[in-house]
Amino acid sequence: MGNLITLSCPSCGGVLEVTQNTEQLVCSYCGQRHVVKHEGTTLSLSPVLDALNQVKAGVDRTAAELAIVRLQKEIAELNTNRTAFLGANPKPVSKASNLVFAILAVVIGSLIALTGLCALMGNSLKSSLPILLVGIIILGAGVLGLVLRNRPAKSWEKNIEPRIKAQDALIAKSDQELQQFRKMVSL
Q: Could you list the pLDDT tens digit for every one of the 187 residues in the chain?
A: 457 788 888 878 888 888 878 888 888 888 888 888 878 777 776 655 555 666 677 788 888 899 999 999 999 999 999 999 988 888 877 676 778 888 999 999 999 988 888 888 877 777 788 888 898 999 999 888 888 776 777 788 888 899 999 999 999 999 999 999 999 888 7
The per-residue pLDDT for 9 is 84
The per-residue pLDDT for 165 is 94
For 3-160, strand residue ranges (E) read 5-8, 15-18, 24-26, 33-39, 42-47
SS3 label, residue 9: coil
Half-sphere exposure of residue 114: CA atoms within 13 angstroms, side-chain side: 6
- Residue 88: Cβ-neighbour burial (10 angstroms; 0-12, 13-18, 19+): exposed
Q: How does DSSP classify residue 119?
A: H
Half-sphere exposure of residue 153: CA atoms within 13 angstroms, side-chain side: 7
